[in-house]
Chain A
Amino acid sequence: MGKNGSSRITVLFLAALGILLLFLPSMIPRFYTYILSLIFVTALLAMSLNMVVGHGGLFQFHHCVFYGVGAYAFALMITKAGLPMWLSFIAAPLASALAGLMIGWLCVRLTKLYFGMLQISLGSLIWAITFRWYSLTHGDDGIHGIPMPGLIAGTTGAYYFILLFFALCLLVMYVIFKSPFGMTLQAMRDNPDRCAAVGINVRRHQLTAIVVATFFAGIAGVLFVVLERTVFPDLLFWVLSLEVFIMCLLGGWFTFAGPALGAAITVALRTFVGIYTDYWTLVLGTLLIFLIFFLPEGVMGFILEKLESRGRKEVSGPRGV
């Protein structure tokens, strides 16, 4: 995104992008619209993960649990509980946030790796329960054909709906990113001990960040259901969590929009590579290795560095991004 002088360019760029996105569905085949929607959903998920990992420094290895919880909660509320759409839409992310609160509360007592371990095990527990609770969740089969109101049932309708909420969420995330809360969070990533020594209640802060992030993950889950009209246990499987982690890495996890870019690249690649070959995971693995060796700051990080080295003084991301 821009810095002091070039923030105007960024705003223009975003405006142009926004307009383009608005008119896109009428210009491109339906399949691409679908892919774009999928990109938005995944990008939202990646951004929510980055809030705790890239900006918060927490090893949230199994973020997709909250994504899945949101999706399942939404699906179940509509199909089993027969709740009205708008109510489910609000309640599902709250369910995710609640799960985030409970799991987060158990985990923030621990640092780094142990946090990650407990988080994975709790997440896997939820996965196992979802997988097996056939009567409620239909286990491996998943739930299909979830009804959506006519307005958003079609590909285009879903696209605009998702785009709207994606943009809204991104805006909120950006505000948070620039707020004192966001800045303190990043300070805690760099040095939690120092933060404690200046009077910040690190654990409470981290827990708040987790709840916020899981809320957004829940929204992503809901949007997924809007798009796909189906849920299945793989949404909660740790492999997906790692993939989302990779998206953050790919995009650049110290930047704001990096993960979104990472998600876009991953989804796009996955779709198009999938047309030519069955071996998408091979490509992904190789890509990841390439990243690790050459681009540890991610694509966005790399671009930002190039831009900055052309500018005068080195300004760290947040002051201008």
Chain B
Amino acid sequence: MLRVENLYKSFDGFMAVNGAELLVEKGRRVAVIGPNGAGKTTLFNLITGQLKPDRGKVRLDDEEIGHLPPHEVCRRGIARSFQIANIFHRLNVFKNVQVSVLSRQKNSNRFFYPAHRMAVEETDRILESVGLLDRADDIAGSLSHGDQRILEIAIALGTEPQLLILDEPTAGMSPDETSATMALIRRLSETRGLTILFCEHDMDVVFNAAQSIMVMSHGKTIIQAEPGEVRRNRAVQEAYLGGEEDA
């Protein structure tokens, strides 16, 4: 479904992404792992259009999307959540998701219709599926960190994506919140058939949830394979897992 071929991106001479390859098949859960600074977030930014690649291709179902701006990428069915909680902090939880739903419905530009009557059912449904329905009236900025990350995912869901890209979804969460979030992600992938691409530092999370793992180091793809094979691979162990336990 999503294919990244030979991607390169440099910033002022620093090669952030140095030949990355990725394959995400429909309906699967794929994880990208690598030490800090390996280029994971840059890779995601290249896929979703926040950055443009210097070289290489990003293909979505055979369409090249590497050069598209973020809102076009979204319209093609890719939604993403960000590493740093990127929500609309002055709006309440309901509106945070509503904005996204309205965008998908292409209703963002309607002038003469009261917003609070539009897309209510769908927004409520999404909020319920992530467990935030009872906080709908709260101002987003006042939510706990973990809840904000979940709101992030809810906003991404509002666009009814086919591919959901999550940038460190459990960062900063307590163990309870982490397992709840990962359960949510598994549920989304299984019940909705969502394809999920995520990156994480928590190895337990990764090896439990992912069906395919891509390992990056210094901007380069070392390997992409099933979890078992990755665990056994020597290059990966040297580059990343060797010695330090990143759990």
Across the interface, which residues of B come within 8 angstroms of A265, CB to CB? Answer: none
Across the interface, which residues of A come within 8 angstroms of B137, CB to CB? Answer: 313-315, 319
Over the window 145-174 of chain B, the binary record of Cβ atoms lying under 8 Å from chain A Cβ atoms (1 yes, 0 no) is: 000000000011011000000000000000
119-153 of chain A: CB within 8 A of chain B: none
Q: In the complex, are the beta carbons of A205 and B70 less than 8 A apart?
A: no
Across the interface, which residues of A come within 8 angstroms of B99, CB to CB? Answer: 183-184, 187, 195, 198, 200
Sample of 7 further A-B pairs with CB below 8 A, known A178-B115, A180-B107: A175-B114, A178-B114, A180-B108, A183-B95, A184-B109, A187-B96, A314-B138
Across the interface, which residues of B come within 8 angstroms of A179, CB to CB? Answer: 110-115
Over the window 176-196 of chain A, the binary record of Cβ atoms lying under 8 Å from chain B Cβ atoms (1 yes, 0 no) is: 101111111011011101111
Q: In the complex, are the beta carbons of B95 and A194 less than 8 A apart?
A: no
Q: In the complex, are the beta carbons of A184 and B108 less than 8 A apart?
A: yes
Known: A194-B155, A196-B71. A180 touches B113 (CB 8 A): yes
Q: Chain A's nearest CB lies how many Å from the CB of B44?
A: 11
Across the interface, which residues of A come within 8 angstroms of B88, CB to CB? Answer: 186-187, 190-191, 194
Q: Chain A's nearest CB lies how many Å from the CB of B98?
A: 7
Across the interface, which residues of A come within 8 angstroms of B69, CB to CB? Answer: 196
Q: In the complex, are the beta carbons of A190 and B110 less than 8 A apart?
A: no
Across the interface, which residues of A come within 8 angstroms of B87, CB to CB? Answer: 190-191, 194
Q: In the complex, are the beta carbons of A318 and B71 less than 8 A apart?
A: no
Q: In the complex, are the beta carbons of A180 and B102 less than 8 A apart?
A: yes
The reply to whether the CB of B6 lies closer than 8 angstroms to some CB of chain A is: no
Subset of 12 A-B contacts with CB under 8 Å: A176-B112, A181-B108, A182-B115, A183-B102, A184-B102, A197-B71, A197-B74, A197-B79, A200-B71, A202-B71, A314-B142, A315-B137
The reply to whether the CB of A316 lies closer than 8 angstroms to some CB of chain B is: yes
The reply to whether the CB of B103 lies closer than 8 angstroms to some CB of chain A is: yes
Which one of B90, B98, B100, B102 lies within 8 Å of A254 (CB-CB)?
Answer: B90
Kindly state the separation between the CA atoms of A315 and B89 in the bound complex, as whole angstroms.
13
Q: Chain B's nearest CB lies how many Å from the CB of A187?
A: 4
Across the interface, which residues of B come within 8 angstroms of A198, CB to CB? Answer: 71, 74, 79, 99-100, 103-104, 155-156, 158-159
Known: A197-B74, A198-B103. A319 touches B108 (CB 8 A): no
Query: Contact residue range for chain A?
Result: 20 to 34
The reply to whether the CB of B80 lies closer than 8 angstroms to some CB of chain A is: yes
Q: In the complex, are the beta carbons of A193 and B50 less than 8 A apart?
A: yes
Q: In the complex, are the beta carbons of B139 and A191 less than 8 A apart?
A: no
Across the interface, which residues of B come within 8 angstroms of A184, CB to CB? Answer: 99, 102-103, 108-109
Over the window 99-139 of chain B, the binary record of Cβ atoms lying under 8 Å from chain A Cβ atoms (1 yes, 0 no) is: 11011100111111111101000000000000000000111
Closest to A175 in B: B112
Across the interface, which residues of B come within 8 angstroms of A197, CB to CB? Answer: 48, 50, 70-71, 74, 79-80, 82, 86, 156
Across the interface, which residues of A come within 8 angstroms of B139, CB to CB? Answer: 314, 316
Q: In the complex, are the beta carbons of A316 and B91 less than 8 A apart?
A: yes
Over the window 187-201 of chain B, the binary record of Cβ atoms lying under 8 Å from chain A Cβ atoms (1 yes, 0 no) is: 000000000000000
Across the interface, which residues of A come within 8 angstroms of B26, CB to CB? Answer: none
Which one of B86, B92, B108, B118 lies within 8 Å of A205 (CB-CB)?
Answer: B108
Q: Chain A's nearest CB lies how many Å from the CB of B64?
A: 19
- Name the prevailing secondary structure of the A interface residues: helix
Kindly state the separation between the CA atoms of A49 and B74 in the bound complex, as whole angstroms.
31
Q: In the complex, are the beta carbons of A180 and B110 less than 8 A apart?
A: yes
Q: Chain A's nearest CB lies how many Å from the CB of B75?
A: 5
Q: In the complex, are the beta carbons of B118 and A180 less than 8 A apart?
A: yes
Across the interface, which residues of A come within 8 angstroms of B79, CB to CB? Answer: 197-198
Q: In the complex, are the beta carbons of A319 and B92 less than 8 A apart?
A: yes
Indicate the member of A176, A183, A198 with the most B CB atoms within 10 Å: A198
Q: In the complex, are the beta carbons of A194 and B71 less than 8 A apart?
A: no
Across the interface, which residues of B come within 8 angstroms of A29, CB to CB? Answer: none
Indicate the member of A175, A194, A202 with the most B CB atoms within 10 Å: A194
Across the interface, which residues of A come within 8 angstroms of B48, CB to CB? Answer: 197
Q: In the complex, are the beta carbons of A319 and B70 less than 8 A apart?
A: no
Across the interface, which residues of A come within 8 angstroms of B49, CB to CB? Answer: 196
65-83 of chain B: CB within 8 A of chain A: 69-71, 74-75, 79-80, 82
Indicate the member of B107, B111, B118 with the most A CB atoms within 10 Å: B111
Q: Chain A's nearest CB lies how many Å from the CB of B140?
A: 9
The 5 closest A-B pairs by CB, nearest first: A199-B74, A196-B70, A190-B88, A198-B100, A184-B108
Kindly state the separation between the CA atoms of A260 and B151 in the bound complex, as whole angstroms.
34
Across the interface, which residues of B come within 8 angstroms of A190, CB to CB? Answer: 87-91
Which one of A201, A205, A318 lies within 8 Å of B95 (CB-CB)?
Answer: A318
Kindly state the separation between the CA atoms of A315 and B95 in the bound complex, as whole angstroms.
11
Q: Chain A's nearest CB lies how many Å from the CB of B229?
A: 33
Closest to A178 in B: B114
The reply to whether the CB of B8 lies closer than 8 angstroms to some CB of chain A is: no
Indicate the member of B70, B89, B138 with the most A CB atoms within 10 Å: B70
Across the interface, which residues of B come within 8 angstroms of A48, CB to CB? Answer: none
Across the interface, which residues of A come within 8 angstroms of B104, CB to CB? Answer: 198-199
Q: Chain A's nearest CB lies how many Å from the CB of B136?
A: 10
Q: In the complex, are the beta carbons of B91 and A186 less than 8 A apart?
A: yes
